[in-house]
Structure 1
Amino acid sequence: MIANRKDDHVRLAAEQQGRLGGHHEFDDVSFVHHALAGIDRSDVSLATSFGGIDWPVPLCINAMTGGSTKTGLINRDLAIAARETGVPIATGSMSAYFADESVAETFSVMRRENPDGFIMANVNATASVERARRAVDLMRADALQIHLNTIQETVMPEGDRSFAAWGPRIEEIVAGVGVPVIVKEVGFGLSRETLLRLRDMGVRVADVAGRGGTNFARIENDRRDAADYSFLDGWGQSAPACLLDAQGVDLPVLASGGIRNPLDVVRGLALGAGGAGVSGLFLRTLLDGGVPALLSLISTWLDQIEALMTALGARTPADLTRCDLLIQGRLSAFCAARGIDTHRLATRSGATHEMIGGIR
């Protein structure tokens, strides 16, 4: 049953990518263009550091799948793409491995194909410390992702309905697993209040994984006999909303959920993310064109991220947090409702003050 569910998730997630479109709240984030801000491209580095974790690039292949023969082949190909481009990669939820060790190869193939890359194992918030350690050991993982998915579980016919123990269990895993722990949503976002709780639990990094990408409420609803939960299609906060909500929390964050292009990656970095994760679009690219297509896409994205950083005058991904940003539209309304001051973002580079001083 688990293998069938994993195959269903892949099929439905890929189908969703073909229907995504229209306005996204990343479109409410724009850079103030300073025509003399550019630097030499040779001075730009894509390397990023956050929460004691170092990545060679600020982009990763985020958690997707595993647990069936078909998904094992997908994981193999994703790992090859990660190896050839240098991007970090995460496994999908390893719950299938805990239920049936015979599917271990559908996950461990990622380490075999990518022996020196940065790999994150992925477990749910009900996993015991012992299971979390097993996942890390199987993958020889550099970090552990714990995913939060209350809305997905709620819509899933066979889903969990007991969530009270998740917080204490996360604390136990953080204390006992021996590698950095990254807590991530699955597509509904992490609020400021949640981030503060995670920080106090000792979580190293949070992946906000906001609304606008793969929608697991819709996926699980499509698996039901009747579409009982279609009213949840718009549930949650977008990635840029979560990143703005995270200002001042003092917990490193990653951006994922609805990232469509290199500009969205750079927007996420400018909003304070240490890196960005992509799942659905990379999956659809792989299924449509194989490893060569995914390699080409990731390589192009990395080149274009570097090009945008050059034009913006950012020598490192962290330097993007000094670029001037305008927050408009629905995202601006969210910030107003949450008491988030966006005006300072528009002049944080100091360029405006320097120009006024020069005129005087």
Structure 2
Amino acid sequence: MIAERKDDHVRLAVEQQQGTSGRNQFDEVTFVHHALAGIDRSEVSLRTRFAGLEWPVPLYINAMTGGSEKTGVINRDLAIAARETGVPIATGSMSAYFKDPSSAGTFSVMRRENPDGFIMANINATATVERARRAIGLLEADALQIHLNTVQETVMPEGDRSFGSWAPRIEEIAAAVDVPVIVKEVGFGLSRETVALLEKLGVQIADVGGRGGTNFARIENGRRDLADYAYLDDWGQSTPACLLDAQDAGIPLLASGGVRHPLDVARSLALGARAAGASGGFLKTLLDGGVDALVDRITTWLDQLTALMTALGARTPADLAQCAVLIRGDLRTFCTDRGIDTGRTATRTGSPGATPDTTGSTR
């Protein structure tokens, strides 16, 4: 039953990619263009540092799948693409492994194919410390993701209905494991209050996992006989909304959920994320065109991100957080309602590459 569910998730996620309108709240974030901000491409580095980690690029393949024969093949191919491009990668939820140890190979294949890469194990918030350590050990993981998915569990016919133990479990795991702990939402977003709580629980990094990408409420509703939870399709906050909401967080933020192209990566970094993750679009590319197609797509993303940073005058991913961006539409309304000053992002000194005029000349 678990393997069948994992295969269903992949099928329904790909169907969502085919049926999407292509627009989300990232489109309400616009860079202020400065025509003389550009720098030499040779000055740009994609290396990003946060929470004691150093990644070669500010892009990662986020959690997707594992637990069945078909998803094991997907994880193998994703790991090969990560190895060839240097991007970090996360497994899908390893709950299937805990329930059926024979599925271990569908996850450990990532380390076998990507022996030197940065790999994140992924567990749910009901896991024990012992299971967290097993997941890390199986993958020789460099970090541990703990995913939060109350809405998905609520819609899932066989889902959990008890969430009160999640925060204490997260705190126990964060204190007990010897790799960084990343807590991520699966597509409904982290509020600033939640991020603040995660910091108190000892979590080192928060992945906001906002609305705009794969919608697991829709996926689980598609598995229900009556599909009677359709009213939850728009639940949660978008990724840009979450980043703006938690821009003063005391722990580093990662951005995932609705990241469609290199401009969305740049927007995420400008809104304070240290790196951006993609999953659904990468999955569709892999299933449509194979490993080579996914490697080509990731390589193109990294090349184009470098080009955008060159034009914006950002020598590092962190420099993008100095660039001025305008917030429009419903995203601006969200900011107003949450007391977020969008003027701070619109009036940044920005353009790190630009040399300010100190002569007083108005020419």
**TM-score when scaled to structure 2?**
0.97
Q: Distance in 2 between matches of 1:102 and 1:22?
A: 38
Amino acid at match of 2:204: R
Amino acid at match of 1:213: G
For structure 2, the residue ranges without an aligned partner over 5 or more in a row are: none
Aligned to 2:295: 295
Secondary structure of the residue that 1:60 maps to in structure 2? strand
The Cα shift of 1:355 comes to: 7.0
Q: Distance in 2 between matches of 1:328 and 1:359?
A: 31
Please list, as runs of the form range in 1=range in 2, the aligned pairs for 1:67-216 lying within 5 A after superposition.
67-216=67-216
Aligned to 1:325: 325
Amino acid at match of 1:317: P
Secondary structure of the residue that 1:221 maps to in structure 2? helix
The Cα shift of 1:22 comes to: 4.5
Amino acid at match of 2:347: T
Please list, as runs of the form range in 1=range in 2, the aligned pairs for 1:244-263 lying within 5 A after superposition.
244-263=244-263
The Cα shift of 1:359 comes to: 3.1
Amino acid at match of 2:126: T
Secondary structure of the residue that 1:136 maps to in structure 2? helix
Q: Distance in 2 between matches of 1:101 and 1:202?
A: 29
From the superposition, tell whether residues 350 and 111 of structure 1 become closer, same or farther in structure 2 (CA, over 3 Å). Answer: closer
The Cα shift of 1:353 comes to: 12
Aligned to 1:359: 362
Q: Distance in 2 between matches of 1:23 and 1:122?
A: 28
Q: Distance in 2 between matches of 1:337 and 1:235?
A: 17
Secondary structure of the residue that 1:146 maps to in structure 2? strand
Secondary structure of the residue that 2:274 maps to in structure 1? coil
**TM-score when scaled to structure 1?**
0.98
Aligned to 1:314: 314
Secondary structure of the residue that 1:182 maps to in structure 2? strand
Q: Distance in 1 between matches of 2:263 and 2:87?
A: 17
Identity of aligned residues (%): 74
Q: Distance in 1 between matches of 2:357 and 2:243?
A: 29
Query: 2:323 touches 2:350 (CA, 8 Å); kept in 1?
Result: no
Secondary structure of the residue that 1:274 maps to in structure 2? strand
Q: Distance in 1 between matches of 2:238 and 2:350?
A: 28
CA offsets 1:171-230 (integer angstroms, 9 cap, x no match): 000000111000000000000010000011110000001001000000000000111100
Aligned to 1:349: 349
Q: Distance in 1 between matches of 2:176 and 2:267?
A: 35
Residue 281, structure 1, aligned to residue 284, structure 2: no
Q: Distance in 1 between matches of 2:238 and 2:176?
A: 32
Amino acid at match of 1:39: I
Show structure 1 runs of 4+ deviating over 2 A.
350-360
From the superposition, tell whether residues 19 and 350 of structure 1 become closer, same or farther in structure 2 (CA, over 3 Å). Answer: closer
Q: Distance in 2 between matches of 1:209 and 1:234?
A: 14
Aligned to 1:222: 222
Residue 340, structure 1, aligned to residue 343, structure 2: no
Q: Distance in 2 between matches of 1:342 and 1:218?
A: 32
Secondary structure of the residue that 2:226 maps to in structure 1? coil
CA offsets 1:288-332 (integer angstroms, 9 cap, x no match): 000011011000000000000000000000000000110111110
Secondary structure of the residue that 1:277 maps to in structure 2? strand
Q: Distance in 2 between matches of 1:147 and 1:41?
A: 37
Count of residues paired in the alignment: 360
Q: Distance in 2 between matches of 1:257 and 1:159?
A: 22
Instruction: State the Cα RMSD in Å.
Output: 1.5
Amino acid at match of 2:298: I
Query: 2:218 touches 2:230 (CA, 8 Å); kept in 1?
Result: yes
Q: Distance in 1 between matches of 2:83 and 2:344?
A: 40
Q: Distance in 2 between matches of 1:75 and 1:333?
A: 39
Aligned to 1:240: 240
CA offsets 1:33-80 (integer angstroms, 9 cap, x no match): 000000111010000011112110000000000000000000000000
